[in-house]
Amino acid sequence: MIASVLSWIWVASGLILILLVLLHSPKGDGMGGLAASGSSMFTSASSAEAALNRVTWTFLAIFLTLAIILSARWLS
């Protein structure tokens, strides 16, 4: 029973993680940014971006922890 609930939480956290990654703003110009002069590659993140990073890392930790627990079959 608990393994089933954790499986659904794992799937939900995976879907939320996908959405969170897609919400991030692009950081670079791709290969065209290599030749660009004067553009700074290291800019400070806004508070919204910092909060989004924190939430993304939290969901990543939840997803990976549940993946380890469910794949090791510690609950069955």
Q: In whole angstroms, what is the distance from residue 60 CA to residue 21 CA?
A: 10
User: Which pLDDT belongs to residue 33?
Assistant: 60
**Residue 32 to residues 55, 61, 69: CA-CA distances in angstroms?**
30, 33, 42
pLDDT 10s digit of each residue in the chain, 76 long? Answer: 999 999 999 999 999 999 999 998 887 666 666 565 555 555 565 888 899 999 999 999 999 999 999 999 988 7
pTM reported for the whole predicted model: 0.75
Q: In whole angstroms, what is the distance from residue 63 CA to residue 20 CA?
A: 13
Which own/partner contact pairs does 30-36 have at CB distance under 8 Å and 24+ positions apart? none
User: What's at 20, amino acid-wise?
Assistant: L
User: Which pLDDT belongs to residue 38?
Assistant: 52
